[in-house]
Structure 1
Amino acid sequence: MPPVRRLGSTRSRGVVASAVLALAALVLAGCSSTITIDDQDLSGADRAACEALVADLPEKLAGQDRVDVEPDGALGAAWGDPAYVLTCGVPQPSDYEPTAECSVIAGIGWYVPDDQLTDQGEDATPIALSRTPYVQVLVPAERRTEGIDRALAELAPVLEDNLGEGLPCL
């Protein structure tokens, strides 16, 4: 039997194999754009309201297509890349004061923390406090100038249809 001829040293083949595996891992990681939405500790009535809301959410928001979220049955949704991310059932913000101002967009009162109002280069997390359970929408910094008002206005009808009255907006 003739000797088997190998190309390159064992070490160089190991380096190449490691590089190929690392590249494959990077490619697979880049393909994963699934958004994870944290589960909220809610009453049965609030969970049912959030489930109904999520089922009624649009397939497009501010011109962006809906994307997958994890886990299945999450109380939220996402659109685009970078994604608008809606989470239903969030707690009242710890820095909220009853005299705080909010922006009313299409009949829904949205509270945005002061530091997010002044820095347009940061992500914004408006919370619909005029509806309950509370809903938060993460708006990526890249979408703030062209899409925040449009996205929140497009969500208003589905929030009104599925959620109860919350805090009054000043």
Structure 2
Amino acid sequence: MPRPALLAGAAALTLAAVMSGCSGTLHVDPPTPTGDAAAACLKLSKALPAKLQGLDRVASEPASPYVAVWGEGEIALRCGVDRPAAMAATDQVSDVNGIGWFNDPQRPALYTAVNRVAYVEVTISPKFMPAEVQVDLAGPIKATVPE
């Protein structure tokens, strides 16, 4: 069983990988979805809130319609990512307002919305309750990314 200190360290490393520099623009590697996934992700990009959990949406580098970041990288979303490699067909996912979320046990800050035409990955800082962020994102995901 992983120790809490190790889990917190892994979460911090996950978020550090999203951020770069102090310029106010964060580096996030954008995914490259195609077909129906790309179309759904474009719709999701337009439906995402300007504020999430009190954080303003900020620019990311390189600019991509498949990436959204709030705050100083406390919350980062990538739409159109690959299926989580750690997710087995028999794994349980948590349902939050009709969206199934897989939480990678090796990356505790990383959640992926599954069972949709596009996988939507969200990295959430330990400062926030994941379920609250997932509730806020459930409406836009349900409205734009079909099952």
TM-score by length of 1: 0.68
Segments ≥4 residues shifted beyond 3 Å = none
From 40, 50, 53, give the equivalent of 1:49. 40
Q: How many Å apart are 1:71 and its aligned residue?
A: 2.2
Matched, 1:69 2:60: yes
CA deviation after TM superposition for structure 1 residue 116, in Å? 4.2
Q: TM-score, normalised by structure 2?
A: 0.78
Q: Aligned Cα RMSD in Å?
A: 1.7
Q: Is the 8 A contact 1:54 1:75 kept in 2?
A: yes
**Separation in 2 of the partners of 1:138 and 1:78?**
9
Query: Which protein is bigger by CA-based radius of gyration?
Result: 1
Structure with the bigger RCO (C-alpha within 8 Å, sep 6+) is 2
Instruction: Tell me what 1:114 maps to.
Output: 105
Match of 1:85 among 62, 72, 76: 76
**Does 2:25 correspond to 1:40?**
no
**Residue 47 to residue 109, structure 1, CA distance change in 2 (3 Å):** same
2: CA distance, partners of 1:114 / 1:86: 18
CA distance in 2, matches of 1:73, 1:39: 6
Counterpart in 1 of 2:138? 156
Give 1:74 shift: 3.5
The unaligned stretches of length 5 or more in structure 2 are 1-20
Alignment of 1:16-31 (within 5 A): 29-30=21-22
Q: Which amino acid aligns with 2:105?
A: D
Which residue of structure 2 aligns with residue 26 of structure 1? none
Identity of aligned residues (%): 32
The alignment partner of 2:30 has SS state of coil
Instruction: Give the number of the structure whose residues are more often helix, by fraction.
Output: 1
The aligned residue for residue 18 of structure 1 is: none
Contact 1:56 1:158 in 2 (8 A): yes
1:129 aligns with 2:114: yes
Counting matched residue pairs gives 127
Choose between structure 1 and 2: higher strand proportion.
2
Equivalents in 2 of 1:86, 1:37: separation in Å? 9
